[in-house]
Amino acid sequence: MNTHPSGIQAHFKLSHPGFSLDVALDLPGRGTTALFGPSGSGKTSCLRVIAGLARSDADHRSLIQVNGAVWQNDDAQVWVPVHQRALGYVFQDAKLFPHLSVAQNISFGMARIAEKDRRVSLDQAVTLLGLGALMDRAPDTLSGGERQRVAIARALATSPSLLLMDEPLAALDVRRKAEILPYLETLNTELNIPILYVSHAIDEVARLADHLVLLEAGRVVATGPTRELLVRLDLPLAHGDTAGAVITATVQSHHPDDHLTTVQFEGGALLVPQQATAVGHTLRIRVQARDVSLTLARQSGSSILNILPATVTALSTDSPGQTMVSLDVGGTPLLARITQRSAMVLGLKPGLALFAQIKGAAILG
C-alpha cells in the first residue's frame, strides 16, 4: 500500500453485526472535508477509526496517515494510541467540564501540549471563537452555541494536526446555528489545520466544506470538490427540494438603503440579501435549484433582478413531472428545477443557450 507525504489517507474496514464500513479515502491535507450521508451510513464510525477510538479489522492492512504522520499502518505494524495522535475532537454535545470556567476548560486542552509544540495560542483560540467576554463564565451559564464555541476552542488549544467535528451543530436551533457558522468559516480560512466535518445537513456542508465525501451504507458513493458533487445529476444530492449549487463570489458593493449586496463571480454579478462580509472579500452563496427559472430571451419588467446567460449541460428526471437542468454560467455550475412540460416547451437540450433567472431574496449567504 502506497503512502503519501501530504494529505489524509484513511483506508480501512470495520465490521459490526449487520453493518460493515469499507472505505479508502485520499483527502486534501488542508481545508474542510465533509462526510455526508444519511443516518447509519458510517460517518461517525469513520471519525472514530481515524481517531483511534475504534480499531479497524485486523486482516485489512489499514492505513491512517495525516500529512505524513502515520497513525496506523498494518503493513509496518504501526499503531499510535488515541492519546498520542495529534487531533482535536468536537462532539455534538460540548462535553465541557461543569466545575471549570471557560478559561479553565480551554487551558485544560492546552496543558496536554508541551509549550514548544504549541501551534495555536490561547489568545488565538479565544479570538477565533469570540470568547473574550466569556472567560470567567461557568458552562451552565452559556447558551448552546457558546458552549460549542468553547468546546472548539478547547480542541484547538491542543494544537491538533487534524480537527474532527461530529455534527457539532445538530443539537442547536436555527438561531444558534446561525450564530456559530461564521466562526466555523473563520477556522477554515485562518488556520492551516485540516477539518473532517460530519453532518447530515446539506446547508452546513455547502457553506463550510471545500471537499465532500458522500457515504451510504458504509461505502463511499462519491468524493471530490463540494461545488462539483452538489450538481452531479448522477448523485442524489442534485435531486429533490434541497438541491442547489454553491457559488464562490467576491463582495463588490453594499446597498444599505435596499439591504442588498452586489457580489461578482466568473458568471457575472448577483444582487443578494445584505451580507456582513467586507468589500473585496470572498463568500460562498448557495442557490437552490427551485429558485432558478429559465427563459430563452432576456426578460424585462420582472421582479427578478438576477438574469445571467447560461448554457444547458445536462437534463435529468428529478421526480414525476419534474426535470433537473444542469447549467454552466461562465464556468460556474448551477441547477434549475422546472416542470417536464416547461422543459419540453423551451426545447431544452445540452448546448442550448438561454438565461437563468435567480431570485435574489432566496439566495443563502
DSSP 343: H
**56 lies in the same domain as 102:** yes
Q: What is the pLDDT of residues 136-163, one digit of tens each?
A: 999 999 999 999 999 999 999 988 999 9
Average pLDDT over residues 3-32: 89
Q: Answer whether residue 283 shows pLDDT above 80.
A: yes
Instruction: Determine the average pLDDT of the residues in 35-40.
Output: 93
Residue 126 maps to which CATH number?
3.40.50.300
pLDDT exceeds cutoff 60 at 338 = yes
Helical pair 144-156 and 174-190, crossing angle rounded to 10 deg: 20
Answer yes or no: is pLDDT of 1 > 60. Answer: no
Q: What is the DSSP string of 142-194?
A: S-HHHHHHHHHHHHHTT--SEEEEESTTTTS-HHHHHHHHHHHHHHHHH----
To which H or E segment does residue 109 belong?
A: helix 102-110
> What average pLDDT does this structure show over 157-177?
92
Residue 348: name the closest of 320, 314, 322, 307 by CA. 314
**Same domain, yes or no: 232 and 253:** no
Domain match, 145 and 12 both: yes
- Domain-located, residue 299: yes
Average pLDDT, the chain: 92
CA 31, 9, 18: angle at the middle one, nearest 5?
110
Question: Looking at the DSSP assignment, which residues form a beta bridge with residue 250?
Answer: 264, 282
**CATH number of the structural domain spanning residue 347:** 2.40.50.100
Percent of the chain with pLDDT over 90: 75
Domain boundary among 238, 272, 292: 238
Choose the final residue of a domain: 168, 203, 238: 238
Q: What distance in Å separates the CA atoms of residue 112 and residue 77, rounded to the nearest whole number?
A: 26
CA distance 161 to 119: 9
Q: Are residues 153 and 286 in the same domain?
A: no
- Looking at residue 3, what is its pLDDT? 45
Say if residue 30 is in the same domain as residue 102: yes
Q: What is the pLDDT of residues 227-280, one digit of tens each?
A: 999 999 999 999 998 999 999 999 999 999 999 999 999 999 999 999 888 999
335 vs 228: CA distance, rounded Å: 11
Residue-wise pLDDT tens digits, 69-103: 999 999 999 999 999 999 999 999 988 999 999 99
What DSSP letter does each residue of 196-208 carry, written as one string?
EEEES-HHHHHHH
Q: Does residue 300 form part of some domain?
A: yes
Note down the domain range covering 316. Answer: 244-359
Return d(Cα 94, Cα 144) in angstroms, integer: 8
| Other residues' Cβ atoms within 10 Å of the Cβ of residue 173 | 12
Measure Cα distances from 150 to 56, 288, 324, 339 in Å.
Answer: 31, 33, 42, 47
What the block records as the C-alpha cell of 335 is 441547477
Element (H, E) at 353: strand 353-358
Query: What's residue 178's pLDDT?
Result: 87
Give the residue among 311, 308, 324 at the shortest CA–CA distance from 356: 308
* Range 16-22 average pLDDT: 90
- CB neighbourhood size of 92 (10 A): 17
| Number of domains comprising the chain | 2
pLDDT attached to residue 365: 66
Same domain, 125 and 254: no
Mean pLDDT over 171-187 rounds to 89
Shared-domain flag, residues 270 and 223: no
pLDDT at 109: 75
Determine the 3-state secondary structure of 305 from DSSP.
Answer: coil
The backbone torsions φ and ψ at residue 91, rounded to the nearest 5 degrees and listed phi first, read: -95, 170
The Cα–Cα gap between 340 and 189 comes to: 41
Amino acid, res. 109: G
